Amino acid sequence: MSSHKPIKVALLGCGTVGTEVVRLLTDQAADLTARVGAPVELAGIAVRKPNKHRDVPAELLTADAEALIASDVDVVVEVIGGIEPARSLLLAALRSGKSVVTANKALLAEHSADLFEASDASGADLYFEAAVAGAIPLLRPLRESLAGDRITRVMGIVNGTTNFILSGMDSTGASYGETLEEATRLGYAEADPTADVDGFDAASKAAILASLAFHSRVTAADVHREGIASVSAADIAAAKALGRTVKLLAICERVTEDGGESISVRVHPAMIPKSHPLAGVNGAFNAVFVEADAAGEMMFYGQGAGGAPTASAVLGDLVAVARNRVHRGRGPRESAYAALPVRPMGQTPTRYHISLDVADRAGVLSQVAAVFAEHDVSIAAVRQEGRVDDASLVIVTHAATDAALRSTVDKIGGLPVVREVVSVMRVEGEEL
Ligand code: HSE
């Protein structure tokens, strides 16, 4: 048995994730002791209403989070979520030298600079694996395993709710509204699904991923964000017709231009080829595809949400910070030395797929093509199918700035020969 004094843990929050953290700490106490080199002891659980929690030992519950943090605990685990009171509580913990493990993506995406500063001042650890993609080990690979490489792109499905909806639309052909209703009925979407379907949740995760991948400070406000509410059954059908599928992607990309470097950080729906590894990620699963100079391509896949999967990531962090306490080590600090600027979306190179209903007569294609040329957008592929009195025209572009592509689409929509712009969607995951 270990002779080191116990590592005392304060748990802030006891919802779905917190309850699982308590269960794992209890069920695996002996193994955790052996792995850490000291017993890991739950000293208290701070919740708003202690009498509402029947699944955890009553004697551990308290409504006074400040007092619990100020007691002789070594580590504070936060699974409350949201900015306040989590921010103030974790700053107080770090300032007084208590290591912090948090699953709070919104907090990290907005206030990581303050948290890292407090962690540096006292030498306490700050770990947050559970903040992005639940159980999937992803932040530690970016922060540690790939610290000797040069990451060029991180592209992922980091929101299970929207992936469940888009997968459903793809398999049934149903509309966004119908599929969201079904997802809500089955409990995959929250009663208020805004944070998920409008891309806020994915944008927070993208900010965290970009900060770690590119050693730069990126906040949620830097992330270009589009949700899935405007993805139509026609978009999904257009993707299918070309052997592609639509996913909500969080993309963090290094852009090199004229010898200078910047980063593009964005969340938006995009078509990817069915052959891309992310295309096979369906339902509520998450996956993140990482490209690095020396390592090449990697994919991290698994459960991105839920009590037990998220608690698994929290426990992994807890073991790491507890080991650091026992062996007097220190986890990685903030690494923002590269300070790469974030590129505005308009200047970001992207590719578009555009599907149009046009009049079927001489000169139509040349009028449409002229608009692309005018905006310096190069066409990669065109497919036309004649119908009875009109034609379907599908155009896939080469990379151009997002602003040029948007202006092209706006102008094409106004051409008298264009009856309807059926679908406009960015294309990712393939080189042309
Ligand atoms: N609401 C998120 C999702 C899980 O749907 O994936 C928590 O980040």
In-domain check, residue 30: yes
Read off the pLDDT of residues 262-298 as tens digits, 9 standing for 90 and up.
999 999 999 999 999 999 999 999 999 999 999 999 9
Residue 329, both tokens = 């080590």
Substitution candidate for ligand 1 out of 108, 161, 186 with most atoms within 8 A of CB: 161
Residue 356 alpha carbon to ligand 1 centre in Å:
34
Reply yes or no on whether the pLDDT at 388 is more than 80. no
Any idea what the Cα angle at residue 192 is, between residues 105 and 230, rounded to 5°?
90
143 and 273 in a common domain? yes
299 and 250 in a common domain? yes
Q: Which of 8, 98, 105, 205 is catalytic?
A: 205
In-domain check, residue 125: yes
**Can you tell me the mean pLDDT for 112-130?**
98
CATH of the domain at 63: 3.40.50.720
**Cis check: omega of the bond before 273, within 30 degrees of 0:** no
Residue nearest (by alpha carbon) to ligand 1 atom 7: 305
265 and 180 in a common domain? yes
In-domain check, residue 1: no
5 carries an active-site annotation = no
Q: Are 7 and 38 in contact (CB under 8 A)?
A: yes
d(CA 403, CA 390): 29
In-domain check, residue 122: yes
In-domain check, residue 282: yes
Q: At which of 271, 303, 335 does a domain end?
A: 303
Distances (CA, A) of 252 to 11, 40, 50, 211, 213: 32, 37, 41, 9, 8
The number of distinct structural domains making up the chain is 3
pLDDT of residue 385: 85
Reply yes or no on whether the pLDDT at 7 is more than 90. yes
Residue 217 alpha carbon to ligand 1 centre in Å:
23
pLDDT of residue 425: 96
> Residue 288: helix, strand or coil by DSSP?
strand
150 and 110 in a common domain? no
181 and 41 in a common domain? no
- pLDDT category at 75 given cuts 50, 70, 90 is very high
pLDDT of residue 387: 78
* Average pLDDT score over the chain: 96
Residue nearest (by alpha carbon) to ligand 1 atom 2: 159
Q: Are 136 and 302 in contact (CB under 8 A)?
A: yes
Residue 196 alpha carbon to ligand 1 centre in Å:
7
**DSSP letters along 339-350, please?**
-PPBPPGGGSEE
pLDDT of residue 258: 84
**Can you tell me the mean pLDDT for 360-375?**
94
Nearest to residue 159, comparing CAs of 191, 188, 127? 188
Query: Where does ligand 1 bind, in terms of residues with CB under 6 Å?
Result: 159-161, 196, 201, 304-305
Residue 257 alpha carbon to ligand 1 centre in Å:
34
Read off the pLDDT of residues 372-381 as tens digits, 9 standing for 90 and up.
999 999 999 9
- pLDDT category at 431 given cuts 50, 70, 90 is low
**Can you tell me the mean pLDDT for 170-180?**
97
Measured from the CA of 164, which atom of ligand 1 is nearest?
5
| The model scores a pTM over 0.85 | yes
- pLDDT category at 1 given cuts 50, 70, 90 is low
290 and 181 in a common domain? yes
150 and 293 in a common domain? yes
194 and 281 in a common domain? yes
151 and 291 in a common domain? yes
In-domain check, residue 238: yes
- Please give the backbone phi and psi of residue 54, each rounded to the nearest 5 degrees, phi first: -100, -10
Q: Are 225 and 259 in contact (CB under 8 A)?
A: no
Residue with more model confidence, 242 or 315: 315
311 and 299 in a common domain? no
pLDDT of residue 2: 62
pLDDT of residue 112: 97
CB-side exposure of 77: number of CA atoms within 13 Å? Answer: 36
Residue 228, both tokens = 């899935």
Residue 296 alpha carbon to ligand 1 centre in Å:
28
In-domain check, residue 244: yes
pLDDT of residue 227: 98
pLDDT of residue 20: 97
Measured from the CA of 159, which atom of ligand 1 is nearest?
6
In-domain check, residue 250: yes
CATH of the domain at 255: 3.30.360.10
Measured from the CA of 305, which atom of ligand 1 is nearest?
4
176 and 151 in a common domain? yes
**Can you tell me the mean pLDDT for 221-249?**
96
Residues in Cβ contact with 251 at an 8 Å cutoff, skipping those fewer than 6 apart: 153, 154, 155, 206, 264, 265, 266, 267, 268, 270, 428
**Can you tell me the mean pLDDT for 251-271?**
95
Maximal C-alpha separation, the chain: 87
> Residue 36: helix, strand or coil by DSSP?
helix
Reply yes or no on whether the pLDDT at 208 is more than 70. yes
Distances (CA, A) of 254 to 209, 211, 259, 265, 272: 12, 12, 12, 9, 19
CATH of the domain at 401: 3.30.70.260
Residue 430 has a CB neighbour count (10 Å cut-off) of: 14
- pLDDT category at 389 given cuts 50, 70, 90 is confident
Range of the domain at 417: 345-427
216 and 351 in a common domain? no
Q: What percent of the chain has pLDDT over 90?
A: 95
